[in-house]
Every structure is written in C-alpha cells, then in structure tokens.
Amino acid sequence: MSHVKAGGTVKNLSDSKPKFLGVKLTDGQKAGVGSIIVRQRGTRYLTGKNTKIGKDHTIFSVKEGLVKFSEKRKLGFNGRTRTHKLVAVE
C-alpha cells in the first residue's frame, strides 16, 4: 500500500530566464571597440555614426569614443514625420 498520494500536474511553475535587455552605456560614457551599447527587441534605437546593429538588433560600437544619444526626425511612407532615438559614438 502506498503512503504518498498521487501528485497532480502543475502548469504554472515553469519560468523563462531574464533576457537582460536595455541601455548598457549611457550618454557621455566611454565605449571601446565592440562594446554593446543597447540590447533591444526590434529597432527602438537606430544606429548612428560609428555604430552597427547585430542580427538580434543589438547596437554595438565600431570605434572607440563617447556614446551620444540624440533624436532624428524621419518621414514615413504615409507622409507623417516621426522622431526616432539615435545612438552614435563620437
């Protein structure tokens, strides 16, 4: 005879690992070659001078310098202008 009752299944105990997204270097901080500046899903931030974007939309530095955040106005296909956040290394 069993001393332990049968355990049922639980559906809400599994949890995903954190992804650690966001801005890693702020405005005015020093960035080396290959330093990650922003980790993001989609292009919330656009690349500027001396920065490139990875396949997972990570923005990283190509040259050594100071990080600069700014805004850029872009014209959409429907004729509306929108402001986008821009990341550059100068």
Q: What pairs with residue 60 in β-bridges? A: 36, 52
pLDDT digits (tens, 9 = 90+) for 38-72: 999 999 999 999 999 999 999 999 999 999 999 99
Q: What pairs with residue 88 in β-bridges? A: 68
CATH of the domain at 27: 2.40.50.100
Task: Collect all residues with Cβ–Cβ distance below 8 Å to 3 and sequence separation of at least 6.
Answer: none
Domain carrying residue 73: 22-89
Residue 3 domain-assigned?
no
Whole-angstrom distance, CA of residue 85 vs CA of residue 67: 13
pLDDT digits (tens, 9 = 90+) for 12-45: 778 889 999 999 999 999 999 999 999 999 999 9
Position 55 scores a pLDDT of 96
Residue 32 domain-assigned?
yes
3-state secondary structure 17-70: CCCCCEECCCCCCEECCCCEEEECCCCCEEECCCEEECCCCCEEECCCEEEEEE
Q: What is the pTM of this model?
A: 0.79
